[in-house]
Amino acid sequence: MCVSIRAAACVAAAGLCAPVLAQPQDFQDPISSTGFFGNGNPIGANLATTETVGLLAASLRARGDWSFMLARENGEFGAPTSAFRVFECGPIPVRLQDMTFTAHAKWVNGGGTNTIPETRFDVNAAIRERVGALPSFNDPIILGLGSINNPLIGNGLTVYNEAFGGPGLGPVLAAGRTYYVEMLVRTRITVTGFTEFTPSITVTNEFGGDLSQGVYDGFEVIFGYRTVPAPSVAAMLLPLGLVASRRRR
């Protein structure tokens, strides 16, 4: 009888013990930028982000275009594009799941020769913990996807269309901590052997912005989340049954 009373009490409380639907909260507005370094003149640069937040998943997409007219000289040039969105885990631990990252864009080396410039690009997405007041490259990566050092050598173009998938069940976010979803696309350009006879160089990246809308999809990260499961009712009843069997003896 003792067993039945205690079991009934546990079953009645099962609504409190069962997993409660939870999600990351306090999503802030996305922040995005494209920067340029090295001597040159950027033209046609535009960048926009869109985002969704649901009960079970969130997404962040970046679309844009840019061209960088390089100075007529040897050197190192670059154009990093980034987008991130800060969120809180909330009071209940949440497990990441089914994270995906897609990249659909075009890079063009206009001008130059068949060997210059040497353009390389990285496409990455990650969930990071924000340790300080602002996001930092030193922040711990909780889960990351993407590829690095993709080459485009000399005059020409390449269309990059790849999809990356994370584990079905990913890491668990810590309750009360601050995180952010980040996309970072870094384009690095190296010019060596430039002479007065070399055609001028402009490097272009099109990823679904004002100049390439409907042609390229840009960069998008989607990640799901679920509450970390609580013990099931059956699991809670099992120890009670062991106690009852011992008492009968």
For 35-76, how does the pLDDT look when each residue is reduced to its tens digit (9 = 90+)?
999 999 999 999 999 999 998 999 999 999 999 999 999 999
- Per-residue confidence (pLDDT) for residue 230, from 0 to 100: 53
157 located within any domain: yes
- Per-residue confidence (pLDDT) for residue 243, from 0 to 100: 35
How would residue 9 be classed by pLDDT, with cut points 50, 70 and 90?
very low
How would residue 227 be classed by pLDDT, with cut points 50, 70 and 90?
confident
Residues 187 and 198: their CA atoms lie apart, in Å, by 22
- Per-residue confidence (pLDDT) for residue 17, from 0 to 100: 27
Closest CA to 103 of 222, 20, 15, 16: 222
Q: How many Å from the N-terminal Cα to the C-terminal Cα in the chain?
A: 15
Positions of E strands within 71-130 = 75-88, 94-111, 118-129
7 located within any domain: no
Residues 81 and 89: their CA atoms lie apart, in Å, by 26
Whether residue 228 contacts residue 172, with contact meaning beta carbons closer than 8 Å, is answered with yes
Reported as a single tens digit per residue, the pLDDT across 165-182 is: 999 999 999 999 999 999
12 located within any domain: no
Count other Cβ atoms within 10 Å, centred on residue 169.
12
- Whether the per-residue pLDDT at 130 is higher than 70: the answer is yes
Mean pLDDT, the chain, as a whole number? Answer: 85
Domain interval for residue 211: 23-238
249 located within any domain: no
Crossing angle of helices 2-12 and 233-248, rounded to 10°: 170
The number of domains in the chain is 1
Reported as a single tens digit per residue, the pLDDT across 177-222 is: 999 999 999 999 999 999 999 999 999 999 999 999 999 999 999 9
Instruction: Report residue 238 CA to chain centroid gap.
Output: 42
Residues 45 and 109: their CA atoms lie apart, in Å, by 16
Q: Enter the tokens of residue 176.
A: 């009360």
74 located within any domain: yes
Residues 219 and 210: their CA atoms lie apart, in Å, by 15
How would residue 149 be classed by pLDDT, with cut points 50, 70 and 90?
very high
9 located within any domain: no
pTM: 0.82
Torsion (CA) 64, 51, 29, 142 in degrees, nearest 10: -100
Q: What is the mean pLDDT of residues 1-29?
A: 42
206 located within any domain: yes
How would residue 27 be classed by pLDDT, with cut points 50, 70 and 90?
confident
- Per-residue confidence (pLDDT) for residue 157, from 0 to 100: 98
